[in-house]
Amino acid sequence: MEKGRIAIPSAMPGGLEAGIGQHFGHCDIYTLVDVENGAVAKVATLANVPHQQGGCMAPVNHLAGNGVNLLIAGGMGMRPLMGFQQVGIEVYTCGEVGSVGEAVDALLAGRLRRFTPEQTCGGGR
Mean pLDDT of 24-49: 93
Angle 78-87/57-65 helices, nearest 10 degrees?
20
Note the pLDDT of residue 98. Answer: 85
Mean pLDDT of 46-70: 85
pTM of the model: 0.89
Whether the link from the prior residue into 80 is cis, omega within 30° of 0, is: no
Domains of the chain: 4-109 (3.30.420.130)
Within the chain, strands assigned E span: 4-10, 29-36, 39-47, 70-73, 90-93
Residue 124 has pLDDT above 60, yes or no: no
